[in-house]
A and B are shown apart, each in its own frame.
Chain A
Amino acid sequence: MTPLERYLVVAALLFGVGLAGALTRRNAILVLAGIELMLTAANLNVVAFWRHGGHGDATAGVMFVLFIIAVAAAETAVGLALIISIYRHRRTTHLDEVDTLKG
Chain B
Amino acid sequence: MSWIVQQLWLVPALPFLAAGVLALTPRRHRRSAAGLAIGALTASLVLAGGAFAATLGQAGPDGFRAVVNFTWLETGAHAVRLGWVLDPLGAAMLVMVSFVGLLIFIYSVGYMAHDDNFTRFFCFLSLFAGAMLGVVIANSLLLLFICWELVGLASYLLIGFWFQKPEAAAAAKKAFITTRVGDLGLFVGMIWLYSAADTLVFYENGQGCLEQGMVTRLVATTAVAGMTLSTAISLLVLLGAMGKSGQFPLHVWLPDAMEGPTPVSALIHAATMVAAGVFLVARMFPLFAAQPDGATGESPALQAVTWLGAFTAVFAALIAVAQTDIKRILAYSTVSQLGYMFLGLGTGGVAVGMFHLLTHAFFKALLFLGAGSVIHGCHEEQDIRRLGGLRRTMPVTFATYAVGMMALAGVPLLFSGFWSKDEILHAAQGWKPSPWPFYLGVLGAGLTAFYMTRQMIFVFFGPNRTCARTHAAALTPHESPPVMTVPLAFLAICAVVLGFFGTPAWPWLQTYLEARPADLTAFDVSRLFAVGVLGLMVLSTAVVAAGLALGWWLYGRRPITDPAATDALELAQPGLFRLLHGKFHVDELYEATVVRWHAAWATLGELLDRWLWGGVVLLVHGLALGLAWTSRLLDEYVVNGGFDTACRRLVRGGRHMAGLATGKPQSYLRGLAAATAALALLLLWGGCR
Contact = CB atoms under 8 A, between A and B. Distances in A.
A–B direct touch in complex (beta carbons closer than 8 A): yes
Contacts of B658: 102-103
Contact of A23 (B659, B660, B663, B670): B670
A95 B657 contact: no
A1 interface: no
B678 interface: no
A95 B659 contact: no
A26 B433 CA distance: 137
Contact of B666 (A22, A100, A101): A22
B673 A101 contact: no
B657 A96 contact: no
B61 interface: no
A95 B664 contact: yes
A101 B663 contact: yes
A29 to B, nearest CB: 13
Interface string A66-103: 00000000000000000000000000000110111111
A103 to B, nearest CB: 3
Given A95-B664, A96-B664, A103 B659 contact: yes
A101 B667 CA distance: 13
A33 interface: no
Contact of B664 (A19, A22, A99): A99
Interface string A41-73: 000000000000000000000000000000000
Contact of A99 (B659, B662, B669, B670): B662
Contacts of B670: 23
A101 B663 CA distance: 5
A95 B673 contact: no
Contacts of B661: 101-103
A103 B657 contact: yes
A96 B668 CA distance: 12
Given A23-B673, A103-B657, A103-B658, A31 B665 contact: yes
A11 to B, nearest CB: 15
Interface residues of A, number: 13
A22 B669 contact: yes
A96 B662 CA distance: 9
A103 B660 contact: yes
Contacts of A102: 658, 661-663
Contacts of B666: 22-24, 31, 95-96
A98 B662 CA distance: 10
B666 to A, nearest CB: 5
Interface string B645-684: 0000000000001111111111001100100000000000
Contacts of A98: 663
Interface string A17-41: 0010011100000010000000000
Contacts of A101: 661, 663
A31 B664 CA distance: 12
A75 to B, nearest CB: 14
A4 to B, nearest CB: 17
Contact of A19 (B657, B665, B673): B673
Nearest to B666: A23
A23 B660 CA distance: 16
A101 B660 CA distance: 11
B333 to A, nearest CB: 112
B34 to A, nearest CB: 104
B44 to A, nearest CB: 104
A101 B666 CA distance: 13
Contacts of A100: 663
A23 B669 contact: yes
12 contacts: A24-B666, A95-B665, A96-B666, A98-B663, A99-B662, A102-B658, A102-B661, A102-B662, A103-B657, A103-B658, A103-B659, A103-B663
Interface of B: 657-666, 669-670, 673
By Cβ-Cβ distance, the 3 closest A-B pairs, closest first, are A99-B663, A103-B661, A103-B658
